[in-house]
Chains A and B, each alone.
Chain A
Amino acid sequence: DAGVIQSPRHEVTEMGQEVTLRCKPISGHNSLFWYRQTMMRGLELLIYFNNNVPIDDSGMPEDRFSAKMPNASFSTLKIQPSEPRDSAVYFCASSPGGYTEAFFGQGTRLTVV
């Protein structure tokens, strides 16, 4: 398996624009996580899906952020409109489910100018 695949790897956008980050989890994994990493706050859990259903989105900063998982092999994280404070590295991770290790993608480095 190629692991968790995220795209794009880098994204530079202007304030106010819509940004969509994409994730393909490891085949057969039931759980999917979106994280945001910054120097100040470390890794923050944004949202968690189990069997394609959002279980907990309490980490989503505000209504500008939304996430979907239309099927077991694809998820998106959308920011609309984007703001400079959204600049960070966004990671997607998947796990087989239960209390087992999560495997991370390479991340998307987002810069909002």
Chain B
Amino acid sequence: EDQVTQSPEALRLQEGESSSLNCSYTVSGLRGLFWYRQDPGKGPEFLFTLYSAGEEKEKERLKATLTKKESFLHITAPKPEDSATYLCAVPNTGNQFYFGTGTSLTVIP
């Protein structure tokens, strides 16, 4: 069965303290791994798509990487405005996206 697991569930960082979020997956044939950011009261906002092991994508303080079994979202020198829930998702063969339960990130000034 296809599964997506994220860790940790919650993460508190001091402003400027770099860290990484993990998304591990078990799917039969990866068709892409998607990272989203969700702010309270809003819908998930698309960040990155990674399609093959070794691929990396960057946006401001965020960098997403992908291996054959997991993806990392690295946050470098985070700011309070980076506080949000970060979700990862993978599509199955039927193009249905299955989401992990997310990592709630809090960055303290």
Q: Give the dominant DSSP class at A's interface.
A: strand
Known A-B contacts A45-B96, A55-B94; A101 and B44 likewise in contact (beta carbons under 8 Å): no
Q: Are A102 and B43 in contact (CB under 8 A)?
A: no
Known A-B contacts A48-B94, A55-B94; A101 and B99 likewise in contact (beta carbons under 8 Å): no
Task: Tally chain A residues at the interface, Cβ within 8 Å.
Answer: 24
Q: Check: B102 CB closer than 8 A to any chain A CB.
A: yes
Q: Are B42 and A45 in contact (CB under 8 A)?
A: no
Size category of the B interface is 20 to 34
Q: Which residues of B contact A56 (CB under 8 A)?
A: 94, 96
Smallest Cβ-Cβ distance to A92: which chain B residue: B43
Q: Are A43 and B46 in contact (CB under 8 A)?
A: no
Residues 44-56 of chain A, each 1 if its beta carbon lies under 8 Å from chain B, else 0: 0100101000011
For the A-B complex with A4-B43, A48-B94, A104-B44 known, give 10 more contacts whose Cβ atoms are closer than 8 Å. A33-B97, A45-B96, A48-B96, A56-B96, A98-B95, A99-B95, A101-B34, A102-B46, A105-B43, A107-B43
Ordered nearest first, which 6 A-B pairs have the shortest CB separation? A104-B43, A43-B99, A42-B101, A99-B31, A101-B46, A99-B32
Binding site for A on B (CB under 8 A): 31-32, 34, 36, 42-46, 49, 87, 91, 94-102
